Amino acid sequence: MTLTRRTVVQALAASTAFPALAQSAAPVRVGYAIARTGPWSVGAQTSQEPNFLLWAEMQNAAGGLDVKGTRRPIELVSSDDQSNVETCVRTYEKLMGSDKVDLILPPWGSNANFAVAPLANRYGYPFLAPTALSRRLVEMKLPYFFLLLQQPKPMMDALVDMFKANGAKTVATIYVDDLFGLENYAALKVALAGSGISIVEDKSYPLGVKDLGPVLRSMKDKNPDAFIGLTYPPDTILASRQAKEIGFNPKFFYASVGTAFQLYRNVMKEGAEGVLGMGSWNPKTSPGAKAYFDAHVQKFGAAKEPDRWASGHAWAGLEILTAAVAKVGLDRKAIRDYVAGNTHKTIVGDIRFAGSENVGVPGTVSQWQKGEFEVVWPKNRATAPLVASKPAWV
């Protein structure tokens, strides 16, 4: 189903049709585990599960999922993974091994996807993951696993290219000491090599950190042109708040996961202005992106907007899966081949895969400007020009 304003209104208005539909066609059972509690839940409940619920509701309201020409209702089979890798793995093994659901949707985050990806490959379930950043996952060459987000290299290349084009000469960086932080930090160092930009200080920190003040003060003393935080949502907000408290306000302030969330704008208020981060879309990106944004807000309310990075990629993955099932049905090998072998029109642009990696969408940088997280780099993807000097914290 192509997402337009008209189909959004029709689908949401018709959502009461599902009970009657369920009596006339066997449901398509779609399984997943997702963090509803624990430290992963902030990201999971912003970027992923709302999209799963919206997708199922809209498909069912339209008559059900198109399975090679036959409409069948979607039945979601889901549970809380409690932000625990072992729980996540056990749940997916049950969903695929004994429950034998028809389709699988992915968990949240690089660590969970890294743990579950080999299972998906073993059981032959196509996995379109919107919140996994890991070069190691690409290098594992798992034919059933597809990463929708831009990976560390293109994201860090875009960031360094932007810095270089706008006169930055020195950077300071912090990074979370796990797969996400380590891989992005490694990609950042490679991108900086030969750029003329030097790292004046770098520091790793553990998951669940409660105080980044000392390292931020040390970085402030070195007066870098740019700060880079390879951070998770709670740490992104912590680093921003503490930087504001100590008056650490470099020309470029970049923090990664969570900066694209409405939560960040709500917490930092006017202080969000000029902050950079990982983002790739917003309602200006395409008509489909605007229709998706409006549908999400209509269902979940203005207080729970989709984030301007992974939410869009989560929806793009659902668009791809929907088109695949319409074309080839529920034969999982055929779905996998369809995903691997085609260029897919989505709300974030054309997606195509080289192995597991999305090579259709380039690395991007976004920036909060007047209440919207605008794509600012590269220029040919921009929804607004870069503000090349962050204003003072407010």
Query: Considering only 12-16, 245-249, 382-386, which range has the smallest mean pLDDT?
Result: 12-16
Average pLDDT over residues 232-253: 96
Residue 22: its pLDDT value, please?
42
pLDDT band at 208 (very low <50, low <70, confident <90, very high): confident
* Neighbour-count burial for 110-124, b at 16+ CB within 10 Å, e otherwise: bbbbbbbbebbbebe
User: In this model, does residue 295 exceed pLDDT 90?
Assistant: yes
Q: Which of helix, strand or coil describes residue 8? A: helix
Q: Are 206 and 177 in contact (CB under 8 A)?
A: yes
pLDDT tens sequence across 24-73:
689 999 999 999 999 899 899 999 999 999 999 999 999 999 999 999 99
The amino acid at 326: A
Per-residue DSSP letters for 366-383?
EEEETTEEEEEESGGG-S
Give pLDDT, residue 3: 54
Beta strands in 195-308 (DSSP E): 198-205, 226-230, 252-255, 276-277
pLDDT at 25: 84
- Whether residue 52 contacts residue 62, with contact meaning beta carbons closer than 8 Å, is answered with no
Q: Domains of the chain (ranges plus CATH)?
A: 5-150+283-358 (3.40.50.2300), 152-279+364-381 (3.40.50.2300)
Share of the chain above pLDDT 90, in %: 89
Write down the pLDDT at residue 9.
37
Strand, helix or coil for residue 282 = coil
Answer with the residue of higher pLDDT: 15 or 220. 220
Please, which residues have CB within 8 angstroms of residue 339's CB and are 6 or more apart in sequence?
126, 128, 146, 320, 321, 324, 353
| 2-26 pLDDT per residue, tens | 554 444 434 443 333 344 444 468 9
Which has the higher per-residue pLDDT, 103 or 180?
103
pLDDT tens readout for residues 85-142: 999 999 999 999 999 999 999 999 988 999 999 999 999 999 999 999 888 899 999 9
Q: Residue 237: is its pLDDT beyond 80?
A: yes
pTM: 0.90
